[in-house]
Amino acid sequence: MKVILRENIENLGKKGDIVKVASGYGRNYLIPKKMALQVKPSNRKMIEMEQTALQKGLEIEMESYQTLIQQLNEVKLSFYRKAGERDAIVGSVNAADIKEALEVMNFEIEKKRILLGEPIKKLGNYTVFIKIFHNEQAEIKIQVMKEQEQGTLETSTEEAAAPSAEEPEPELEKASEAAASTDVDEETVLPEKEIASETSEEQQEVPQENKDSK
């Protein structure tokens, strides 16, 4: 039987296309779900009007698809993985990873439209195709790089080596101790000088008394 498609159907056609399908598929699936309309001699005029309207709607859709393709063609995704010999990475980068990364950039792409034959398992640069509409595809750039573990260690080392603002520097501590020691010495010596002076005055007064008595 012949039907006119009212929706874009994968591997069958676009909106407004008149295609042949199995009678059971048309009557039991496409027509009940309003995805297609049967073409008959009696409704040909209506079909022509329907086809014109559907094709206009398709043109608007195609413009949005072209915009999406241009945006995706500018996308470059970077993934970091641990790697061993011969650039073999631990784990992989798969379609689910790419879908998740695209969602972060506000691209809603079904995983089945990411045409990745098999998961990426080596470091390097890759091109991955995204199926947008029938034969229309976008291509995004994928870069898989080695995870840098040393960067975290270097940061930790620098933080440990940096002096704390709350802890006094050793040189300042030594200077403070030296100043405190000097103050203590001065306080100790001054009384000894005063005592020595008083003793000397007493010794000078004694001979004067002896002289008078003679």
Say what the pLDDT of residue 30 is.
94
Element (H, E) at 2: strand 2-5
- DSSP secondary structure of 112-137: GGEE-SS-EEESEEEEEEEEEETTEE
Number of Cβ within a 10 Å radius of residue 158: 9
* CATH tag, 75-151: 3.10.430.100
d(CA 109, CA 133): 12
* CATH tag, 2-69: 3.40.5.10
Say what the pLDDT of residue 58 is.
85
Q: Give domain limits for the chain.
A: 2-69, 75-151
Q: Which of 68-72, 84-88, 131-135, 160-164 has the highest mean pLDDT?
A: 68-72
Element (H, E) at 102: helix 95-104
Backbone angles phi, psi at 61, to 5 degrees: -60, -45
d(CA 61, CA 72): 17
d(CA 7, CA 13): 8
Number of Cβ within a 10 Å radius of residue 134: 14
d(CA 4, CA 11): 15
* Residues whose CB falls within 8 Å of the CB of residue 45, separated by 6 or more in sequence, listed in order: none
Mean of pLDDT values over 45-53: 88
| pTM metric for this prediction | 0.57
Token pair recorded at residue 4: 């006119």
Calculate what percentage of the chain has a pLDDT beyond 70.
69
Mean of pLDDT values over 23-27: 93
Please, are residues 122 and 85 in contact by the beta-carbon 8 Å criterion?
A: no
Please check the confidence at residue 188 and state whether its pLDDT lies above 70. Answer: no
